[in-house]
Structure formats: C-alpha cells, structure tokens
C-alpha cells in the first residue's frame, strides 16, 4: 500500500510519518514537504512549493492520502494566506490523488468545525465539505481538540488553552480535553486503512473523545 502524507514535518504529520514507516502493510510513504525529511528506505520525499506542484507527477499515485497540513492566521499573515494552506492546498492535492485513483482521503480537521464567522472553524468546515464532495470511496475526518505538542514557534492562545485544559483535567468534557499528536495520528491511520463498511462513497467522522479508542484498536 502507498500512503501520502501532507504536513509530515508537523506535530501530527511527524507522528503519521513515523507510524506509517513502521507499519509493514505500508510499502511506500510519499511525503511532499517544503523542508527535506531524514531519508528512510520506504520514504519518497519530494521537496516542493505546493503552489507550483505538478498535478501530473507520478508520486500522487497512492492508495491513501492523509492531511495534517495547517498554519495559523498569525504565521500565514492574512486570511487568504491562511485559507490557502488550510483549505486550498489540501483540496488541490486531494484532486491530484483522486485523479490517480486514491480510494481514501484522511483529514485532521478540528473540534467545532462548522460554517460561520470564525475563520479557523469555517475554513475547516469548508474543507470537510469540499473533500466529501470529491467522491473518494472513503473520506475520514478526525476532529481533535487542542493538540498537546511542544512548539518551536510561540502560540500564546494555544499555550493558555492547554494550561487551562490541564488545570481543569476531568472536569472538562472529554471532547475538549487536549490530545497527544500520536493519538490523533494513530486514529487517523487506523480509520483510513480500515475498509469502510458501506459500499460507494462514505465518510467516517471521528470526534476528539473517540480518538484514543480508535488509536488503540
């Protein structure tokens, strides 16, 4: 099986990469990034600018694609630049892999993804809907709460949220408790590699409180 990972240098993407390289059923891991990854015998690592990627390139020929790409509004610098990374690039890549017969697209979305005025949640919801409309045999959407990761960049809002969530502990509803990147990655991988029960085009949506169980399955 050939698996493509978007965002393999990130917190969740890095875990997706490690887990995919370790699984015997996955024969090749294709991880396009803008910074080179350490080499591995199973890894194909096209280093590219997604705006200029060749839609016809052979490396889009995969069975399963997994997306953990993302930025913040602050890092991106504008709403349009944020939307480009968090929605437009994933859709463009999904079209490339679907054209080469990928059957499954797995997405790291977010808790609370919904259409509305919030740029982040609205962008995630628009991406979820756009992916489902493309018609993969199986679309997997995981919606994690705050990701419990150490960051090289400063994200004060996220750090405060994590601190608060940890202080509240089990008083916080399960859906909003922080999740380790490895749990998100394993859950996305397990759900995306599983054969869907329904024939045709189907979507599996996993909320944050479901991820640990699926990760351990």
Ligand X SMILES: NC(=O)c1ccc[n+]([C@@H]2O[C@H](COP(=O)([O-])OP(=O)(O)OC[C@H]3O[C@@H](n4cnc5c(N)ncnc54)[C@H](OP(=O)(O)O)[C@@H]3O)[C@@H](O)[C@H]2O)c1
Residues 183 and 208: their CA atoms lie apart, in Å, by 10
Looking at beta carbons only, is 109 or 204 nearer to ligand X? 109
Dihedral sign, Cα of residue 146, residue 150, residue 156, residue 159: positive
Looking at beta carbons only, is 11 or 98 nearer to ligand X? 11
Closest distance between ligand X and the C-beta of residue 195, in Å? 25
For residue 131, state whether it binds ligand X (rule: CB under 6 A): no
Dihedral sign, Cα of residue 46, residue 49, residue 50, residue 52: negative
- Residue 199 has φ and ψ, to the nearest 5°, of -80, 160
Closest distance between ligand X and the C-beta of residue 213, in Å? 18
Q: Classify residue 160 as left (phi > 0), alpha (psi -120 to 50) or beta.
A: alpha
Q: Which tokens hold the place of 181? A: 């990147």
Contact 12, 181 (CB under 8 A): yes
The stretch among 9-17, 37-45, 53-61, 92-100 that binds ligand X (CB under 6 A) is 9-17
For residue 12, state whether it binds ligand X (rule: CB under 6 A): yes
For ligand X, the binding residue among 4, 62, 65, 85 (CB under 6 A) is 85
The stretch among 7-15, 20-28, 132-140, 196-204 that binds ligand X (CB under 6 A) is 7-15
Looking at beta carbons only, is 7 or 196 nearer to ligand X? 7
């Amino acid at each position: 099986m050939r698996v493509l990972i978007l965002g393999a240098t990130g917190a969740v993407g890095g875990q997706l990469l490690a887990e995919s390289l370790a699984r015997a059923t996955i024969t090749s891991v294709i991880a396009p990034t803008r910074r080179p990854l350490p080499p591995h015998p199973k890894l194909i690592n096209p280093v590219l600018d997604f705006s200029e990627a060749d839609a016809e390139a052979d490396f889009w020929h995969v069975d399963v694609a997994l997306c953990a790409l993302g930025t913040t509004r602050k890092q991106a610098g504008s709403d349009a630049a944020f939307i480009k990374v968090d929605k437009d690039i994933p859709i463009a890549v999904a079209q490339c892999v679907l054209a080469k017969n990928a059957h499954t697209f797995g997405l790291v979305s977010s808790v609370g993804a919904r259409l509305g005025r919030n740029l982040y949640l609205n962008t995630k919801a628009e991406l979820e809907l756009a992916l489902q409309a493309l018609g993969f045999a199986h679309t997997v959407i995981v919606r994690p709460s705050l990701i419990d990761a150490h960051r090289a960049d400063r994200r004060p809002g996220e750090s405060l949220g994590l601190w608060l969530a940890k202080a509240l502990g089990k008083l916080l509803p399960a859906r909003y408790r922080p999740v380790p990147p490895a749990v998100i990655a394993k859950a996305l991988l397990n759900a995306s590699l599983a054969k869907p029960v329904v024939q045709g085009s189907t979507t599996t949506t996993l909320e944050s409180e479901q991820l640990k169980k699926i990760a351990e399955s």
